[in-house]
A and B are shown apart, each in its own frame.
Chain A
Amino acid sequence: MAIVLLYPLVRVVVLSFQDFGLRELNLGGAEWIGFANYHQIFADPRLWEIVLPNTVVFALVNVVLTVGVGTVVALLLFRLGPWLRGFVTTAIMMAWAIPAVTGTYVWIFIFDSRRGPAIRLLDSLGLVDADATNWFDDRLTFYVIATLNVVHHGFPFVAITVLAGLMTIPKDVLEASTIDGAGGWKRFWYITAPMLKPVFAVVTILSTIWDFKVFVQIFLMPGGDGINRDVFNLATWSYVTAFGQGNRFGLGSAIAVSLTLVLIVITTFYIRYLFREEEL
């Protein structure tokens, strides 16, 4: 495991300081160019105007929506009787179980420019012209569709985890607050949420990490594999730079390392939090 996982981490950092392309891949040997790859990335207006906003805004919106929807669904499940709860939980599990690849294809079909049910519905209502609309061309609508896909795929984990947390709250605490006159809203913010703080921290940080590095869902959407450069995020930009035309492995590595550094900062908070809460 150390060989398969730690060595590549070292290697990708090394690569990010090299001019490593197809020629170096075939013949071996690579020239050290210091921070030139990083200079190129940070000087690229595409990073600041397209890639970074796409990555960060998408991640933030998706984390808020995933955790929000997941929590609301968990509270709903908590109110249900045992039979209905089991049934809805199974349904949620099925949403979780759909592989990212096939799930993405279904969402692509739903919003497909000519045959998709969504565009047909709006066309029949006279709201859009099905022949002239392609939602995958536009950056905003592209990411709205990706958001639906990612939230749909991600909220079950949050719902199940938060529900497990809700089950651990002693019933008498909630009953006591009800007797004291607290409504549902107050009960959630003053009793439930503080008691579940560790659970919320875990699901929020994990969601943040997952949503920052979303790759398959973006890559598979029409134009997401590098054809439409307006919809790049850090992960797809890195991949297409390295494996698309030109095979600039060094430059792609530098992008990947930058993304990893962002994630490590987030992970550090996660581990710190766990360590503070209890002995590992």
Chain B
Amino acid sequence: MKSHTPRGRILTAVAVVTVLVFTLFPAFLMVSMAVDSQASAGKRSLLPTSFTLDHFSFVVDEGQFGTYLRNSLVVAVCTVLASGVLALLAAVAVSRFRFRFRTSVLVMILIVQMVPVEALVIPLFIQARDLNLLNRLLGLVVVYLAFSLPIAIWMLRGFVAAVPKEIEEAAYVDGASWSRMFWSILMPLVAPGLVAVSVFSFIIAWNEFTFALTFNTDADPERYTAAVGLRRFFGQYGNNWGAIMAGSTLITLPVMLFFVVVQRRLSTGLVAGAVKG
């Protein structure tokens, strides 16, 4: 479907450039500010006037950003591990075994995905308070697990369903038990899906803001996740833009790397789960 007229080619080129500028501009500006020594004095140009890593060392040393990042990492990794195991088992159950309520479980997963986080934050806050889970990273892990599971099951279901039943049956004929079949046949075939789902859960936990803010009632900096900790550079240091952008860059980089690395799997996984049914 390529255009062959010169006018069409120019139009396409202009469109591509427009899309690239619109998509990349915020990320570019963020990094450009983060390494600009003049960032907080007021920025004259879009390119950094002079290169510096001072903002990074400032946020990590004085801004305690290292602690925030570690908190975020702990929460995200725990969420990924737990949701990977649970989602895989649930996805196999939903796509392989026919049981009563199978459809209602799927519908429930969808409904829960649509419920706004803001409707859950009030009751979960009270609940976490009663269970003594406020101001603890564990409380956040439990909540993020619950949020990432529906999507993880939904996506993995597509991957599990894509494995032909005949392959499994062949393994049984060859004398494999269910667990042997699961580990030797199903697992390697679903592994790409599991990677995509893990990345998805990681990003949910890493980026989450509302609960991380609400559950930290003590406002104890030792328990801030990175997304919430970033807020401190607003009031305390009077909109220190260089620091804010350096912190933003530190938060964004791992997510961006993950996205680019698994982009193909992520998009096919989403489509397989959401559209093909």
Interface set, chain B 209-251, CB cutoff 8 A to A? 209-210, 214, 227, 230-231, 239, 241, 244-245, 248-249, 251
Q: What are 5 pairs between A and B in contact, CB < 8 Å?
A: A92-B23, A99-B227, A114-B42, A164-B267, A263-B116
Q: A101-B227, A161-B267, A215-B117 given as contacts; is B126 within 8 A of A249 (CB)?
A: yes
> Does B12 contact A90, Cβ atoms closer than 8 Å?
no
> Does B117 contact A152, Cβ atoms closer than 8 Å?
no
A279 within 8 A of B: yes
A53 within 8 A of B: no
Counted as pairs of residues, one from A and one from B, with CB atoms less than 8 Å apart, the total is 232
> Does B33 contact A8, Cβ atoms closer than 8 Å?
no
Q: Residues on A close to B: CB < 8 A? A: 1, 4-9, 11-12, 15, 25, 73, 76, 78-81, 84, 88-103, 105-107, 109-110, 112, 114-115, 117, 152, 156-157, 160-161, 164-165, 174, 198-199, 202, 206, 209, 212-213, 215-216, 219-220, 235, 238-239, 242-243, 249, 252-253, 256-257, 259-260, 263-264, 266-267, 270-271, 274, 277-280
Main secondary structure of the interface of A (DSSP, over half): helix
B2 within 8 A of A: yes
Interface hit among B53-61, B143-151, B176-184, B190-198: B143-151
Interface hit among B14-22, B62-70, B73-81, B165-173: B14-22
> Does B29 contact A110, Cβ atoms closer than 8 Å?
yes
> Does A216 contact B209, Cβ atoms closer than 8 Å?
yes
Closest chain B CB from A163 CB (angstroms) = 8
Question: B260's contact among A9, A97, A219, by CB below 8 Å, is which?
Answer: A97
Main secondary structure of the interface of B (DSSP, over half): helix
Q: A76-B16, A213-B116, A253-B122 are in contact. List 18 more A-B contacts (CB 8 A).
A: A1-B146, A9-B115, A88-B19, A94-B259, A99-B207, A102-B249, A103-B26, A105-B230, A105-B248, A110-B26, A206-B274, A216-B209, A219-B210, A239-B210, A242-B122, A243-B125, A263-B116, A264-B114
In the complex the two chains form, what is the Cα distance from A101 to B20 in whole Å? 22
Q: A8-B120, A152-B26, A260-B116 given as contacts; is B271 within 8 A of A101 (CB)?
A: no
In the complex the two chains form, what is the Cα distance from A8 to B42 in whole Å? 46
Residues of A within 8 A of B274 (CB): 161, 202, 206
Q: A5-B112, A88-B16 given as contacts; is B118 within 8 A of A239 (CB)?
A: yes
B103 within 8 A of A: yes
Interface set, chain B 132-180, CB cutoff 8 A to A? 142-143, 145-146, 149-150
Residues of B within 8 A of A107 (CB): 26
B10 within 8 A of A: no
Interface set, chain B 84-127, CB cutoff 8 A to A? 86, 103, 106-108, 110-112, 114-127
B37 within 8 A of A: no
> Does B207 contact A100, Cβ atoms closer than 8 Å?
yes
> Does B111 contact A199, Cβ atoms closer than 8 Å?
no
Closest to B20 in A: A91
Q: A117-B46, A160-B267, A259-B116 given as contacts; is B251 within 8 A of A88 (CB)?
A: no
Closest chain B CB from A219 CB (angstroms) = 8
> Does A109 contact B241, Cβ atoms closer than 8 Å?
yes
Question: B42's contact among A115, A219, A260, by CB below 8 Å, is which?
Answer: A115
Closest chain B CB from A269 CB (angstroms) = 11
B187 within 8 A of A: no
In the complex the two chains form, what is the Cα distance from A248 to B76 in whole Å? 31
B277 within 8 A of A: yes
Residues of A within 8 A of B126 (CB): 11, 15, 25, 249
Residues of B within 8 A of A73 (CB): 19
* Residue among A7, A15, A93, A238 with most chain B CB within 10 A: A93
Question: A256's contact among B12, B122, B248, B255, by CB below 8 Å, is which?
Answer: B122
B270 within 8 A of A: yes
In the complex the two chains form, what is the Cα distance from A279 to B106 in whole Å? 12
* Residue among B23, B117, B260, B274 with most chain A CB within 10 A: B23
> Does B122 contact A161, Cβ atoms closer than 8 Å?
no
> Does B114 contact A267, Cβ atoms closer than 8 Å?
yes
Q: A89-B263, A91-B20, A97-B255 given as contacts; is B116 within 8 A of A4 (CB)?
A: no
In the complex the two chains form, what is the Cα distance from A192 to B155 in whole Å? 26
> Does A4 contact B143, Cβ atoms closer than 8 Å?
yes
Closest to A161 in B: B271
Q: A110-B29, A160-B267 given as contacts; is B1 within 8 A of A12 (CB)?
A: no
B49 within 8 A of A: no
Closest chain A CB from B97 CB (angstroms) = 15
Residues of B within 8 A of A256 (CB): 116, 118-119, 122
Closest to A110 in B: B29
Question: A213's contact among B24, B117, B124, B227, by CB below 8 Å, is which?
Answer: B117
> Does B277 contact A274, Cβ atoms closer than 8 Å?
yes
In the complex the two chains form, what is the Cα distance from A244 to B274 in whole Å? 37
In the complex the two chains form, what is the Cα distance from A198 to B127 in whole Å? 39
